[in-house]
Structure 1
Amino acid sequence: MHVFVTVGSTRFDKLVQRALSDSVLDILRAKGYSKVVVQCGNSEFDREAFEQAGDTWIRRDEGEVEVWRFKPSLQDDYKQADLVISHAGSGTILDVLRLRKPLIVIPNETLLDNHQQELASSLADLGHLRSSTVSGLPDAIQSLEPSNFVPFPQFNGSRFREMLDEEMGFA
């Protein structure tokens, strides 16, 4: 099984470092995940245990860990993942929930007005995802039960069109 961790276009050192920590990797392995891919953005991490292969850093021990900074699109990574661990950016959350992938979000508390926490809490309260803190990530993974998630409603384009028509005075 495969885990994808993403911080999007932000810098979120604490999440990247925690995701690459032995405690988190051990729990993931114990739960059957053999591959961990981390999109680290501009975040810093300890590269000593990794081999660099172009723009990617790879570590192979009891499983495979791959780290890279940016790609034009993360859609393929979301699709390949059995679990996504992410910052709580709205675009990432919506992309992953629409694919009906299990999602753990970690709000980046260093961002202005902590808006990510509000979104994460609301969607967690609705049962669509699991919200955690960086320090609580190991427990969030350990206790994760993907079958308990409430499927996120699919986008209804006709409702958007109705709202736009109403706003523009066409309705």
Structure 2
Amino acid sequence: MERLKIIVSGGGTGGHIYPAIAIANEIKERYPESEFLFVGAKDRMEMEKVPKAGYAIKGLWISGLQRKLSLKNLMFPIKLISSLMEAKRLINEFRPTIAIGTGGFASGPLLEVAANHHIPTLIQEQNSYAGITNKLLGKKVDRICVAYDNMERFFPENKIIKTGNPVRQDLLQIADKRDGAKRFFNLKAEKKTILVLGGSLGARRINQLIEKELSFFQEADVQLLWQCGKLYYDDYKAYDDKNQVNVYEFLDKMDLAYAAADIIISRAGAGTISELSIVGKPVIFIPSPLVAEDHQTKNAMAVTEKDAALLIKERDLDEDFESTFLSLLNSEERQQQLGENIKKLALPNATSDIVDEVEQLLLRN
């Protein structure tokens, strides 16, 4: 196969960026001589994260439509035209062998232009409810890799391949890390550990809940491993007592955090759910209601419908959290059942399977 030139676009959130990087890494592993160019949205986090991963990136002047009337919406047509023109210039200059999109604003113009230039195109949809960019692209691209069943609601059925979402490979074997993980975080071996995850930036409502329930957790005789996020660390670090409550801005060693956990309280981003499926621990999802098209709730429901996790909506936390949590904490059988059921949803070979599809497209063209 000739030297590959791969153009990759995905961003706006870590949920789009990290799968894009994982796919690129797998291609690079198989084809070390490949050349890569990432395309993101100017001023979004991919412009920082992608270079840190060792890849070049160009930014488009693009953003999404706001839900309410705003000046940004008035600028959208101008930004879109500008981004399409810039995407065309990048495609003509780089001359990619294939174009890959993982969602986010910038992947729309880039994959649109690539498809119009008859370049092989593949998109990866992480969520159970497809984002607007990928829904529009689905009609034009050659292959669509998904993580959930029933995605023919959004895409042509003959283009869909269920691969799952790329995940960290260090999560595949965490059972034998449990004792070391407890020591790493200075946790008491005899106490149940509750891992709280709200994303790298944090989740205001989850943090407020944990703060409110600290005495409740103390009475329940559990210890907390609480990632409160970059935006909220200064507000909650005072609760870190290294006895019952361990507060972190960000958990770098996620394999150890998952290994130490007995019960996990988490948002319901697509990447997080894919990780939790591999980890196989009982989970209480508290989805963010503020994300586009409420896709976190839909992601969580796709899991809870299979009796593989519990779901509490933010508006019901005050009324339902304590009873739901205690019921789970007091039933080892229920914990085991949920852990086993969510593990059945795991697709640990997602990154490899996606790149297999990339290879098939390249061989076909």
Alignment TM class, shorter chain as reference: 0.7 to 0.9
Q: Which has the higher Rg, Structure 1 or Structure 2?
A: 2
Aligned to 1:95: 275
Give distance in 1, aligned partners of 2:306 and 2:248: 32
Letter in 2 for 1:35: Q
Q: Does residue 26 of the first structure (1) align with residue 216 of the second (2)?
A: yes
Q: Residue 107 of structure 1 contacts residue 117 of structure 1 at CA under 8 Å; is this kept in 2?
A: yes
Structure 2 counterpart of 1:153, one-letter code? A
Q: TM-score, normalised by structure 2?
A: 0.38
Q: Report sequence identity in percent.
A: 22
**Counterpart residue number, 1:155:** 348
CA distances 1:103-162 after superposition (whole Å, capped 9, x unpaired): 111101122322111101111112222121231332331232213321333424575455
Contact 1:6 1:38 in 2 (8 A): yes
Q: Which residue of 1 aligns with 2:258?
A: 78
1:112 aligns with 2:292: yes
Tell me, which stretches of 5 or more residues in structure 1 are unaligned? 51-56
Question: For residue 43 of structure 1, what is the aligned residue in structure 2?
Answer: 232
- For residues 64-119 of structure 1, the C-alpha deviation after alignment (integer angstroms, 9 at most, x for no partner) is 01112123342211111111111112222222220111111110112232211110
1:141–1:45: structure 2 CA closer, same or farther, 3 Å change rule?
farther
- CA contact 1:36–1:65 (8 Å) conserved in 2: yes
Task: Find the counterpart in structure 2 of residue 129 from structure 1.
Answer: 309
Partners in 1 of 2:290 and 2:233 — Cα distance? 15
Identify the match of residue 335 of structure 2 among 146, 150, 169. Answer: 146
Count of residues in Structure 1 that have an aligned counterpart in Structure 2: 159
Distance of 2:255 and 2:245 partners within structure 1: 19
Q: CA deviation at 1:7?
A: 0.7
Letter in structure 2 aligned against 1:137: F
TM-score when normalising by structure 1 = 0.76
Structure 2 unaligned residues grouped into runs of 5+: 1-191, 329-333
Q: Is the 8 A contact 1:2 1:80 kept in 2?
A: yes
- Structure with greater helix percent: 2
Corresponding residue for residue 54 of structure 1: none
Instruction: Read off the aligned partner of 1:107 and give its amino acid letter.
Output: P
83-92 vs 151-160, greater mean Cα deviation: 151-160
